[in-house]
């Protein structure tokens, strides 16, 4: 069914198709519409799920953990400070190998108080063991949620998945949306370590160094295995619904001498910048990094690279730019742009490409002694 | 109802301290709950008593969760189990720190939402697992490692806070009175919705008394009126036998205080406050039982 929807409504609609047993959530701007819409579905009987209106995000993730460990499918959604308030439990979900799916509506972290798009919230959770995907359109938000359940619940993965969408730019923007009855696309959840009174054991007990070390390695091994699972899931999705995205969405990269790398809506904006630059005779392309964990392999050899980060690690650099430098050996021109919802147009991105200085970092719009 | 079964759900040789009242209480709790039970345990002595992975000292599954998260985790677990048509008992077994301090938000949320579970707080009146630092449940005058001169504030009244949520059943208990504890767990689990049991858990190393005196210490607490055994069933208060007797003819409080190193050097003002608070609670409960308040 073709319709128009906001990113938030698309996420909620995908959750309805995924039919989780438990949804536990707390409202926060700009995520609120997701949990409101799910509450509507539950209230009207369109979705048969236990909706737990918890008293905090820490409890939202704790409730998802409690549900998931019984072998039930669990979902939550949050944003920014909510995500950080649940940070302890974000670790717990991955460490306990629970395939929880969470939508995070990317929003700046205070202070100052700012509700607009920024990837720093999710990137501060990057070392928790969650898979992270960043989407670039309302359709992709819908599709990514459906695929996230398949990927998280695959026996080779059994790690939670965070679907990230830019606050307001996607969460509150109407775009065309093709909704597909998911049917049996998501297989039933079979959790091999489901808690069972018939087979009593200790979950998350005191663990000595040797076993703890093995558990950590096991998370990393599953992270690596998840690359194949993501590909297979996308193949199945393509065969069923006709859409695919990849670990990284490339645009006009085949003959590109300069590549713009970004995530989320900035990555989509970069495609328009590429078209503009091509009209000017610049052989530009773009790579929109979708999966940040596991981190993709980018083929950037022999090309200039411009990385646009809507995030920052203080005292270190743009997180995407530094990750690309570390994994590819490229010396990207790192542009910090869009923090706290700063407007960045395709013309601005084209400007970054024209003015690129490999190995340097600039803060868009910051001049003089700020 | 008070016939305590022989089945054991705690293996021998756990890593509990000698004379541990927490594991004694848990033994009766599990006998009452039976095998179709999942324990949710936040950071506390119990999470240590279980032993080190891959071993476990308990014959029911235990889900260990972060300190502040037990009641919320149990909410999700209970919701999922009920959705799948299972009646499995979901029991949070948490210390006083995880209940009255860091876990109180999740506790309050779960009770307000009417979660179908039993929350048990075993209360040794300090952070025992980390070496006896003060908690909100530490009584006035008690020396802990963070109140070396004795705690200045009184014990937080978690029972009044829980009662304000109007759960269908709540009670106090002590492992020194096992039949009483056993029947209270049975009763709590017979209700749907959130239920609460607050167990006084005398702690030999923390309270500084000999390990063989644990049961005696629990009885002293009740007989001196410093711990009152009662139930609040659908709002109606019943003071239980041992405390009824203690209210008629209490033992001197000094017997309870003198038996513990943590009260050594306690000021007479602190003792007077403690006694006054205990009496005020007893009076309040008596009035509630009689229906005159």
Which chain B residue has the Cα nearest residue A72?
Answer: B80
Residue B83 CA to residue B90 CA, distance in Å, equals 14
Residue B13 has pLDDT above 90, yes or no: no
pTM: 0.97
Q: Residue B127 — left, alpha, or beta (φ > 0 → left; ψ -120 to 50 → alpha)?
A: beta
Residue B10 has pLDDT above 90, yes or no: yes
Residue A24 CB burial class (10 angstroms; 0-12, 13-18, ≥19): buried
Give residue ranges of A with CB < 8 Å to any B CB.
21-22, 24, 49-50, 52-56, 58-72, 74, 88-89, 92, 195-197, 199-208, 211
Please give, one letter per residue, the 3-state secondary structure of A121-148: HHHCCCCCCCEEEECCCHHHHHHHHHHH
Place of tokens 């995070």: A104
Residue A190 has pLDDT above 70, yes or no: yes
pLDDT digits (tens, 9 = 90+) for A105-134: 999 999 999 999 999 999 999 999 999 999
Confidence of residue B99 (pLDDT cuts 50, 70, 90): very high
| Chain B residues touching A53 at Cβ < 8 A | 113
CB contact under 8 A, B109 and A56: yes
Residue A14 has pLDDT above 80, yes or no: yes
Which chain A residue has the Cα nearest residue B62?
Answer: A202
**Mean pLDDT, residues A75-92 taken together:** 98
| Chain B residues touching A47 at Cβ < 8 A | none
Specify the pLDDT at position A369: 55
**Mean pLDDT, residues B122-132 taken together:** 96
CB contact under 8 A, B72 and A63: yes
**Mean pLDDT, residues B209-230 taken together:** 98
State whether residue B38 sits within 8 Å of chain A by CB: yes
What does each C-alpha distance from A352 to A60, A284, A336 come to in angstroms? 41, 12, 10
Confidence of residue A368 (pLDDT cuts 50, 70, 90): low
Residue B293 has pLDDT above 80, yes or no: no
Size of interface A-B (CB pairs under 8 A): 166
Confidence of residue A49 (pLDDT cuts 50, 70, 90): very high
Residue A233 has pLDDT above 80, yes or no: yes
Residue A111, both tokens: 């202070």
CB contact under 8 A, A66 and B72: yes
Cis-peptide into A111, omega within 30 deg = yes
Residues of B numbered 17-36 whose beta carbons fall under 8 angstroms of chain A's beta carbons: which are they? 35-36
Residue B1 has pLDDT above 90, yes or no: no
Specify the pLDDT at position A144: 98
What dihedral angle (degrees, nearest 10) is formed by the CA atoms of A107, A111, A114, A119?
A: -20
Identify from A42, A63, A188 which residue to disrupt to test chain B contact, counting B C-beta atoms within 10 A and taking the largest count: A63
pLDDT digits (tens, 9 = 90+) for B193-219: 999 999 999 999 999 999 999 999 999
Specify the pLDDT at position A335: 98
Specify the pLDDT at position B2: 58
Confidence of residue B3 (pLDDT cuts 50, 70, 90): confident
Which chain A residue has the Cα nearest residue B37?
Answer: A197
Identify from B80, B98, B111 which residue to disrupt to test chain A contact, counting A C-beta atoms within 10 A and taking the largest count: B80
Which chain A residue has the Cα nearest residue B106?
Answer: A59
CB contact under 8 A, A203 and B62: yes
pLDDT digits (tens, 9 = 90+) for B56-74: 999 999 999 999 999 999 9
Residues of B numbered 40-59 whose beta carbons fall under 8 angstroms of chain A's beta carbons: which are they? 40, 47-48, 50-56, 58-59
**Mean pLDDT, residues A50-55 taken together:** 98
Residue A15 CA to residue A11 CA, distance in Å, equals 6
CB contact under 8 A, B76 and A24: yes
pLDDT, chain A, mean: 97
| Chain B residues touching A199 at Cβ < 8 A | 61
CB contact under 8 A, A22 and B83: yes
Residues whose CB is less than 8 angstroms from the CB of residue A19 and which lie 6 or more positions away in sequence, other chains included: A47, A48, A49, A73
Specify the pLDDT at position A367: 76
Specify the pLDDT at position A356: 97
pLDDT, chain B, mean: 96
Residue A194 CA to residue A69 CA, distance in Å, equals 5
| Chain A residues touching B71 at Cβ < 8 A | 59
**Mean pLDDT, residues A283-310 taken together:** 97
Specify the pLDDT at position A2: 93
């Amino acid at each position: 069914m073709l319709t128009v929807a906001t990113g938030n409504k698309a996420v909620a609609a995908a959750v309805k198709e995924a039919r989780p047993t438990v949804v536990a959530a707390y409202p926060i701007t700009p995520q609120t519409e997701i949990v409101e819409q799910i509450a509507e579905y539950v209230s009207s009987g369109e979705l048969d799920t236990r909706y737990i209106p918890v008293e905090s995000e820490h409890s939202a993730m704790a409730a998802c953990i409690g549900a998931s460990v019984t072998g039930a499918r669990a979902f939550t959604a949050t944003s920014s400070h909510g995500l950080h308030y649940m940070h302890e439990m974000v670790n717990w979900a991955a460490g306990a190998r629970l395939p929880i799916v969470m939508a995070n509506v990317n929003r700046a972290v205070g202070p100052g108080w700012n509700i607009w798009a920024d990837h720093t919230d999710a990137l501060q959770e990057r070392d928790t063991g969650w898979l992270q995907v960043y989407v670039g359109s309302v359709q992709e938000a819908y599709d990514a949620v459906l695929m996230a359940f398949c990927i998280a619940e695959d026996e080779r993965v059994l790690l939670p998945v965070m679907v990230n969408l830019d606050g307001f730019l996607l969460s509150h923007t109407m775009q065309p949306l093709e909704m597909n009855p998911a049917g049996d696309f998501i297989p039933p959840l079979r959790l091999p370590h489901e808690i069972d009174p018939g087979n009593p054991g200790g979950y998350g007990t005191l663990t000595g160094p040797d076993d703890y070390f093995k558990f950590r390695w096991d998370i990393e091994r599953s992270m690596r295995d998840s690359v194949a699972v993501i590909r297979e899931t996308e193949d199945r999705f393509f065969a069923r619904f006709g859409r695919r995205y990849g670990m990284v969405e490339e645009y006009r990269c085949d003959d590109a001498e300069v590549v713009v790398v970004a995530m989320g809506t900035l990555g989509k904006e970069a495609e328009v910048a590429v078209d503009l630059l091509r009209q000017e005779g610049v052989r530009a392309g773009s790579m929109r990094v979708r999966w940040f964990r596991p981190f993709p392999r980018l083929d950037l050899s022999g090309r200039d690279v411009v990385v646009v980060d809507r995030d920052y690690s203080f005292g270190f650099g743009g997180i995407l730019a530094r990750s690309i430098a570390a994994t590819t050996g490229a010396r990207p021109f790192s542009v910090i742009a869009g923090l706290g919802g700063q407007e960045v147009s395709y013309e601005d991105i084209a400007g970054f490409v024209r003015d690129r200085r490999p190995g340097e970092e600039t803060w868009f719009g910051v001049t003089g002694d700020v | 109802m008070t016939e305590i079964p022989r089945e054991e759900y705690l293996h021998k040789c756990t890593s509990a301290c000698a004379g541990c009242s927490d594991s004694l209480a848990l033994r009766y709790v599990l006998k009452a709950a039976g095998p179709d039970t999942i324990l949710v345990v936040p950071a506390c002595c119990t999470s240590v008593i279980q032993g080190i992975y891959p071993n476990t000292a308990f014959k029911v599954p235990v889900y260990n969760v972060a300190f502040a998260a037990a009641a919320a985790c149990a909410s999700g677990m209970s919701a999922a189990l009920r959705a799948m048509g299972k009646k499995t008992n979901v029991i949070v077994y948490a210390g006083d720190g995880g209940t009255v301090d860091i876990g109180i938000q999740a506790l309050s949320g779960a009770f307000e939402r009417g979660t179908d579970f039993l929350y048990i707080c075993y209360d040794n009146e300090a952070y025992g697992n980390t070496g006896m630092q003060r908690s909100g449940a530490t009584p006035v005058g008690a020396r802990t490692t963070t109140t070396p001169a004795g705690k200045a504030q009184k014990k937080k009244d978690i029972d009044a806070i829980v009662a304000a949520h109007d759960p269908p059943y709540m009670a106090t208990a002590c492992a020194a009175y096992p039949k009483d504890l056993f029947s209270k767990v049975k009763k709590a689990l017979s209700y749907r919705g959130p239920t609460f049991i607050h167990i006084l858990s005398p702690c030999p190393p923390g309270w500084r008394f000999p390990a063989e005196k644990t049961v005696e210490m629990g009885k002293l607490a009740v007989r001196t009126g410093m711990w009152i055994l009662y139930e609040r069933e659908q709002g109606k208060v019943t003071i239980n036998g041992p405390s009824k007797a203690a209210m008629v003819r209490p033992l001197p409080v000094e017997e309870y205080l003198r038996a513990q190193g943590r009260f050594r050097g306690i000021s007479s003002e602190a003792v007077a406050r403690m006694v006054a608070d205990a009496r005020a609670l007893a009076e309040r409960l008596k009035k509630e039982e009689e229906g005159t308040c």
